[in-house]
Structure 1
Amino acid sequence: MEPLNATTRSERYTMKLRQWTIAAVLGIVALSCGDQQEAPAEKKLKIAGIVFQEDQFFRLIQFGMQDAADKAGVELLLANSANKPDKEIQLVNTYIARGVDAIVISPLSAKASATALQRAKDAGIVVVTYNTTVEGDIPAAYIESDQGDLGRQTGLVARRYIEEQLGGQAKIATLAFKSQLAEQSDARRNGFVEVVGQLPGVEFVAEQDAWLPEMALKKAGDILTAHPEIDIIWSANEGGTVGSVMAVKNAGREGKVVVFGTDASQQLVEFMLAEDGILQALTTQTPFELGTKAMELAIAALKGQEVAAKVVMDGVLVARQDPDGVRAFGTRLADLIALGNQ
């Protein structure tokens, strides 16, 4: 028989061995848990979104950007360059210094805006352009509406109006924004002219630059005074369309002069449904979706996903001849604005 003290020593040794084993296992588990707790959290992406004008078109773009950013858990910094090249450069430089991950921008100039955006790209910042873009391979992606089609779609409705209501004869004035964004402005006007100009009885008698309501109100008013024979005014953007309608009203030319335009707002929806018959049709971009898609492209590029170099979105025709469609469009517009204002 083994002595009692020997058995005691053996049991004590076995117990200590078990304790050491348990302690070692617990230590490994604790170390593993500690590693998990100390692992850094995934960095929240920070993206700058820059517009260049304060109107409903760009507000809806901002709402779309914000909606996409919120859904993706991205911090969005919004700014407006106010049509000032110097301010645009300042904003880009500020965002470079703040170390944003991406800049989503509608640049003011294909050439002049490129230098600052190249600096951003060189700093490792993803650049996505929308609505307008810059020369070279600076943007990871560019998204725009089909600018020529915005004019062509409205032109088709205007041509039918001329054929059915004016006997194929019409004198037309156009308002554009060539001095602001020449390429985009020309694409819209050329799209309209190439469709309406197919009618031999059509004559374009005046062309002016006016993209803000107050500018368009004055210039369209001056055109109506200088050319009382005008039947139609076409405008290349929202502000110009608003001003043109107001100019016709102020001149008391309801029933004699009609307006066709581009882009949309709640005010233009009201004009389209008004009994005065001035605003006949417009082809609008989809700015909320444009802002959403631009933000999604930036996020995808930051995640290393392949993105298309250029994305083109179709316009939407809104015409007086389809009042139910106008109302449905107005409801959708109001819903998007309410969403953005939440």
Structure 2
Amino acid sequence: MASVRSKVARCVAALAAGALLAGCGPGDSGASNLRFGAIYLDSQGFYAGVKKGIETAAAKDSHLKLLGNNAQGDAAKESSFMSTMVASKVDAIITSAVSATASVPSVAAASKAGIPVICYNTCINDADAKKYVWGYVLSDPYVFGKRLGEQAGKYFTGQKITNPKIAVLNCDFVEVCKERKRGFKDGLKETVPGAQYVADQEGAVVDKATPVAENIITANPNLDAFYAVAGGGTLAGVKAVTTRNRVGKTVVFGSDMTVDIAKALVDGRILKAEIDVPAQTVGKLSYEAARKAANGEKNTSFVIPVQPILYTADDKATNEKWLTEHADGIP
């Protein structure tokens, strides 16, 4: 009777979180199954890729079930999901933390309950992460930004533009984005020290960022380039350049590959370079880390590195190959 009550409580908790936990069906005791929780920061391209990477890796393990939720960038939703996962006693939690500070209590609660937490892409602040997080799957955000900045420098140098006017579409609400931006500026400064940053506004979600980018062009009619720190900003920059008739005059340097971004690279008139962390690889490594943590293994290296990939408009063959390999639309 106690085991039945435990199973009922676990299933009720899963349903309350808005996800069906496999193993709650009739006739399935779930006794031999590991159960992992996975939280995605939002539903944009990168996180869809991470989700696919996690699910593909987990599908190879018949003894593992997943409970997944989308926090939608909301710390309150994230906290609710984490609490549900802790209450249902999952064996590990994979998460991209909404906030370096606001996410600390829920991550700490999971750790204190004996549930290992694996971060990917974003995490809580370093000091607390070292206490409460088993491992962090991460592409160094500074290196990520610096490589793109260096490529932007090559472009401007080739175009003989010594004092380019640049607008940043940022995602500064996430610490990783601040590091990306710092890296970009340092990388560009190495070859184009005269670069001028005429605007720096939030632009992480394409629908919200597009009018922001359009207004920036209106205020800066001689804008040379947008630097988009996230994928939504990349597409917003491309759209704004098109709608404001700046094709051939204003270019975009972007972050995070999606199908639409790859198509813009193949076109090549606006988007000149894109830096990306392979999302499905991040998902796969996050799952593998969770599996090790759930088995009680120690992590010999807190950061589990993922190397970024730089794509340029000049390399159409590689960009077309990317589209072929991601025909399902998931990066």
What TM-score comes out, normalization by structure 1 length?
0.83
Aligned to 1:337: 330
Distance 1:44 1:336 in 2: 31
How far is 1:48 from its partner? 0.5
Query: How high is the sequence identity, in percent, across the aligned residues?
Result: 29
1:57 aligns with 2:46: yes
Aligned mates of 1:80, 1:116 — CA distance in 2: 15
Residue in 2 aligned with 1:19? none
CA displacement, residues 266-320 of structure 1 (integer Å, 9 cap, x when unaligned): 0001111126x00111100111010110111010111122323211211001110
SS at 2:66's partner residue? strand
Corresponding residue to 1:83 among 51, 60, 73: 73
- Separation of aligned partners in 2, 1:211 and 1:41: 40
Partner of 2:211: 218
Query: Is residue 94–residue 117 contact of structure 2 (8 Å, CA) maintained in 1?
Result: yes
Q: Which residue of 1 aligns with 2:145?
A: 151
CA contact (8 A) 2:147 2:310 kept: yes
Query: Per-residue CA shift, 1:185-204, capped at 9, x if unaligned?
Result: 11111111112123233211
Q: Offset at 1:335?
A: 5.9
The gaps in structure 1 that reach 5 residues or longer are: 1-39
Q: 1:288–1:336: 8 Å Cα contact kept in structure 2?
A: no
Match of 2:124 among 134, 141, 162: 134
* 1:274–1:41 distance in 2 versus 1, CA, 3 Å: closer
What SS does structure 1 have at the residue aligned with 2:326?
helix
Segments ≥4 residues shifted beyond 6 Å? none
Matches within 5 A, 1:68-217: 68-73=57-62, 74-135=64-125, 136=128, 137-178=131-172, 180-181=173-174, 183-198=175-190, 199-217=192-210
Cα RMSD (Å) of the superposition?
A: 1.7
Could you report, residue by residue, the CA deviation over 1:49-78 in whole angstroms, capped at 9, with x for unpaired residues? 001211110011000111111112310111
Amino acid of the residue matched to residue 145 of structure 2?
Answer: G
Q: After superposing the two structures, state which structure 1 stretch, 114-123 or 278-287, moved more.
A: 114-123
* Worse-matched range after superposition: 184-193 or 118-127: 118-127
Equivalent pairs counted in the alignment come to 296
1:67 corresponds to which residue?
56
Q: Distance in 1 between matches of 2:89 and 2:297?
A: 21
The reply to whether residue 43 of structure 1 matches residue 36 of structure 2 is: no
The answer for the alignment partner of 1:311 in structure 2 is: 304
Read off the aligned partner of 1:263 and give its amino acid letter: D
State TM-score, norm by structure 2: 0.86
1:250 counterpart = 2:243: yes
Give a deviation string over 1:2-27, Cα, whole Å, max 9, x none.
xxxxxxxxxxxxxxxxxxxxxxxxxx
Whether the aligned pair in 1 keeps the contact of 2:146 and 2:186 (CA below 8 Å) is: yes
Partner AA of 2:291 in structure 1: I
Q: Distance in 1 between matches of 2:308 and 2:141?
A: 8
Deviation at 1:239, TM superposition (A): 0.2
- Aligned residues of 1:245 and 1:278 also touching (Cα < 8 A): yes
Asked whether the equivalents of residues 60 and 336 of structure 1 are also in contact (C-alpha less than 8 Å), the reply is no
Greater mean deviation of Cα atoms: 48-57 or 107-116 = 107-116
